[in-house]
With several copies, the nearest count.
Chain A
């Protein structure tokens, strides 16, 4: 008898999740935001499996974005922001890949990308916004015309049009919907019935998940049905939007997970040092990604002291007094 019979067919490890749902060329949405709730366990596994030509669609991304680009897995991205706050004003491997012409990219803003995911989640082809009027985001397309003919790429980056409900001059930007092949989400809880609960800020994770054709959810804990259904106001996604459920404690390390662990400033500073040039970057990948077989091994390598240092205070949600220099 399986431990979790209701989700038996969806429970798997990161390796299987990547093998089953991610292909060369997949269009992938990454959940989380800069230094928080990045689906790192899946990102590392994508690198280990040597997936190529990924088309990333994201708002503000940091760690997972930079690792995937740095490992050569990414061919293109639609992006609003590539940075890690104070730990990397601009992500290093992202910066270098763009400057060397190694990836194609198209710039949007955070609100625009979030609204594009919302449109995809609602099943509408576009959504209007006033954001971006007059900016070069709207004037300059990043992708060459041949890419625009592909099924999952918007035929136009934006359409600027007149509001048909207003007789006066009233311009509005129409944003094309996004429907990625796969969304990668890291959550605190998944119920044994498959219900997903994200604590703290949800960023655009729920819209990303609902806009995608397939959803991989990694989680810190699998919790009883009786718990997840006692206060369903707090839940984020019903089971029927989730294809793979992967239990990976510290699955977002070195990024944070509210009420579980803080961002690992020490590791992010180390990453910053290593990501700066190609030689040290290769060494980082060899040691921290290729050099470990699993996230468990990765955590063992980090060690208990490092994990305990970032452990969140479960009431305030972060690691009080943590040295974040």
Chain B
């Protein structure tokens, strides 16, 4: 058993998707870790920003929410939501958003609103927040999930945020010319989406996680033919994550 946690593996795995020049939309929790890790380790010229209007904060301390005062300190711009979302969808920018969800389907559509009937739900979640917006407007979305059957479902109880919709070119047909689901990073591995059908497939399983275990925890049939085992995090990656990204151990 290697000495790193699920959160650490998820943050580093997602962070590797970020390239220099990317404009990264970060939410709370693991996505905050992933965005910060990406900038400190893989893409120093990426820009982290928040839906609340803070662009490129110094992040000397990790924010606990997107409205945390730490999202507005040392920034290049303090603005508001309209400015922030106009950045998310801006045609000149390559914007990558980190999201989380309660449910996801095979086309990467997300539910963060309810379990059960919308009007009288069994469980009510926080709601869209900015998720529906970035799913509609960003260049690409990376979603964090706990890998469980009840979360990887055939049909969402509520479609909060559009991924590849019904697959194929159905997203474009909706009137959303760009964006879509890039990857899903879970506590077991990494899923990506087929370029044509836009259906989810297993790209990576973490060291010590079997393909079978992932299949058992996915509520729909998933192509595993291209699955590779992920490389474990290096000591240096873990050091930066623990000592520089979240030294206060607020999220690790």
Q: Which residues of A contact B (CB under 8 A)?
A: 32-37, 59-60, 79-87, 89-91, 94-95, 98-99, 101, 107-112, 114-115, 118, 121-123, 130-137, 139-140, 142, 169-172, 179, 191, 193-195, 200-207, 210, 213, 228-229, 232-233, 235-241, 256, 258, 262-263, 265, 312, 316-318, 320-321, 324-325
Contacts and interface: CB of A to CB of B under 8 A. Distances in A.
Given A91-B126, A101-B120, A111-B81, 5 more contacts: A110-B128, A202-B53, A202-B80, A203-B67, A263-B69
B161 interface: yes
A296 B212 CA distance: 60
B29 interface: yes
B176 interface: yes
Contact of A142 (B74, B118, B125): B118
A169 to B, nearest CB: 8
A107 B127 contact: yes
Interface residues on B, range: 35 or more
30 contacts: A34-B66, A85-B64, A85-B68, A86-B65, A89-B126, A90-B125, A109-B129, A109-B133, A110-B81, A110-B129, A111-B82, A132-B133, A135-B136, A136-B118, A172-B175, A191-B76, A201-B52, A202-B78, A204-B82, A210-B90, A232-B77, A235-B78, A238-B56, A240-B93, A256-B69, A258-B72, A263-B64, A265-B64, A318-B69, A324-B248
A193 B81 contact: no
Contact of A135 (B82, B126, B161): B161
Contacts of A110: 51, 81, 85, 128-130, 133
B195 interface: no
B129 A60 contact: yes
A131 B74 CA distance: 30
Contacts of A320: 61
B126 A202 contact: no
Contacts, number: 260
A134 B162 contact: yes
Given A111-B130, A136-B159, A171-B174, A256 B92 contact: no
Contact of B68 (A35, A111, A136, A316): A35
A238 B127 contact: no
B55 interface: yes
A122 B68 CA distance: 25
Contacts of B70: 318
Given A36-B68, A232-B77, A131 B137 contact: yes
B38 interface: no
B121 interface: yes
B129 A81 contact: yes
Interface centre among A80, A109, A201, A235 (most CB of B within 10 A): A201
Contacts of A195: 76-77
A121 B86 contact: yes
Contacts of A112: 132-133
B113 interface: yes
Given A80-B127, A131-B136, A35 B67 contact: yes
Interface string B155-168: 00011111001000
Closest 3 CB pairs of A and B: A85-B65, A81-B129, A171-B175
Contacts of B76: 191, 193-195, 228-229, 232, 235, 238-239
Contacts of A115: 82
Contacts of B60: 316
A195 B55 CA distance: 11
Nearest to B85: A111
Contacts of A172: 175
Interface centre among B51, B52, B65, B86 (most CB of A within 10 A): B65
Contacts of B69: 36, 200, 256, 258, 262-263, 312, 317-318
